[in-house]
């Protein structure tokens, strides 16, 4: 176990793996296989090797939810009922683990799931901040979305922006705009840019990563959301934040992303705060790209998780 002490977790330090084989927030098949590949690659043993107790009792089953199809309703959003119900159930699972003093590690699945994970974290740690690592801002509302894909919208629901959707009535808009920060952005829709500006949401795009270096960017990001380094941190990592040469198997790759080391540095630095209370690793899609690219993406996903949980280089 690394020498950093997590300030929020009781002993024995325990992780709860929340495997979420879910793809309903976007149209590409296969992202639901992400968590299965991550676990099959040995993630659980790897986390035990670095000193964690790990609970995993199988991937989340969304069967009953899948059994109730979305009726055609008048909205541009795709599968709103399905996504909402799945996220509601993820929120209660993640929230339950957090309340038991475990650190939930949610494996996606598409990034719409973060509506559930962040809601679950905030239910147990109301003053938690969110560090969102992504090529995208995922902050569209039903007014601004061009795709209708809900994986491009979870942050706006968490903030309570945009119009009310009865399907999503369970989501409490508990996230404050000053409690979220982005790193890695480089593909932002026009409407999202406006929302970020109007709500004064802090974001470090790849431009700032180039300009200041990743060390300084992480420090500035923490200074913004966690100035006294005393608030719990939820880290939501979309694997497409990494450059496609590093993580090719993902549904919406964007060139010009984080290097292998920049991605890992972020995770290592968050671990060093001793404040991490929840982690998401999202958007690994093992059915996109050739077998070697898939292997590489799954391996990098596992190593990001290990870094956030205390694997050290020395």
Ligand X SMILES: NC(=[NH2+])NCCC[C@H](N)C(=O)O
Nearest one of 246, 283, 286 to 107, comparing CA atoms: 283
Q: Which residues pair with 15 in a beta bridge?
A: 54, 103
Q: Is 136 a catalytic residue?
A: yes
**DSSP secondary structure letters along 191-222:** HHHHHHHHTT-EEEEHHHHHHH-HHHHHHHHH
Q: Is 240 a catalytic residue?
A: yes
The residue sitting closest to ligand X, measured at its beta carbon, is 152
240 binds Mn ion (CB under 5 A): yes
Crossing angle of helices 291-308 and 260-273, rounded to 10°: 20
Q: Which stretch binds ligand X (CB under 6 A): 80-88, 134-142, 160-168, 226-234?
A: 134-142
Q: Which of 147, 199, 259, 293 touches ligand X (CB under 6 A)?
A: 147
Crossing angle of helices 214-225 and 260-273, rounded to 10°: 40
Q: Is 238 a catalytic residue?
A: yes
Q: How far is the CB of 290 from ligand X (least distance, A)?
A: 21
Q: Do the Cβ atoms of 88 and 95 come closer than 8 Å?
A: no
Q: Which residues pair with 17 in a beta bridge?
A: 105
Q: What angle do CA 182, 177, 192 make, to 5 degrees?
A: 60
Q: Is 138 a catalytic residue?
A: yes
**Catalytic, out of 32, 238, 268, 280:** 238
Nearer to Mn ion, 192 or 238 (CB): 238
Alpha-carbon Rg for the chain in angstroms: 18
Q: Which of 243, 268, 280, 283 touches ligand X (CB under 6 A)?
A: 283
**Catalytic, out of 111, 224, 234, 271:** 111
Nearer to Mn ion, 136 or 271 (CB): 136
Applying the rule CB under 6 A, the residues between 177 and 196 that interact with ligand X are 189
252 binds ligand X (CB under 6 A): yes
Q: Which residues here bind ligand X, judged by CB under 6 A?
A: 111, 136, 138, 140, 145, 147, 149, 151-152, 189, 238, 240, 252, 283
Question: Which of the residues are catalytic?
Answer: 111, 134, 136, 138, 151, 238, 240, 283
């Amino acid at each position: 176990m690394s020498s950093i002490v997590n300030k929020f977790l009781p002993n024995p330090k325990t992780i709860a793996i929340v495997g979420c084989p879910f793809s309903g927030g976007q149209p590409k098949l296969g992202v639901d296989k992400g968590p299965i590949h991550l676990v099959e690659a040995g993630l659980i043993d790897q986390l035990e090797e670095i000193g964690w107790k790990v609970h995993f009792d199988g991937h989340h089953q969304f069967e009953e939810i899948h059994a109730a199809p979305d009726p055609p309703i008048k909205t541009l959003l795709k599968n709103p009922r399905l996504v909402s119900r799945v996220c509601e159930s993820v929120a209660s699972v993640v929230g339950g683990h957090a309340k038991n003093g475990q650190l939930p590690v949610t494996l996606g699945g598409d990034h719409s799931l973060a509506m559930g994970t962040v809601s679950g974290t905030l239910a147990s740690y109301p003053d938690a901040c969110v560090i969102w690592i992504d090529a995208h801002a995922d902050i569209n509302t039903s007014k601004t979305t061009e795709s209708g894909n809900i994986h491009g919208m979870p942050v706006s629901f968490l903030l309570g922006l945009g119009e009310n959707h009865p399907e999503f009535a369970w989501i409490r808009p508990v996230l404050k705009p000053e409690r979220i920060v982005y790193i890695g952005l480089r593909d932002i829709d026009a409407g999202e840019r406006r929302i970020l500006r109007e709500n004064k949401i802090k974001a470090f795009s790849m431009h700032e990563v180039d300009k200041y270096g990743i060390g300084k960017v992480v420090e500035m990001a923490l200074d913004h959301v966690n100035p006294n380094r005393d608030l719990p941190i939820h880290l939501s990592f979309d694997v497409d934040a990494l450059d496609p040469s590093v993580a090719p198997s993902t549904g919406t790759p964007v060139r010009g992303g984080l290097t292998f080391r920049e991605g890992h540095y972020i995770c290592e630095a968050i671990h060093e705060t001793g404040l991490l209370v929840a982690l998401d690793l999202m958007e690994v899609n093992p059915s996109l790209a050739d077998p070697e690219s898939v292997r590489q993406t799954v391996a990098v996903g596992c190593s990001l998780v290990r870094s956030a949980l205390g694997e050290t280089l020395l």
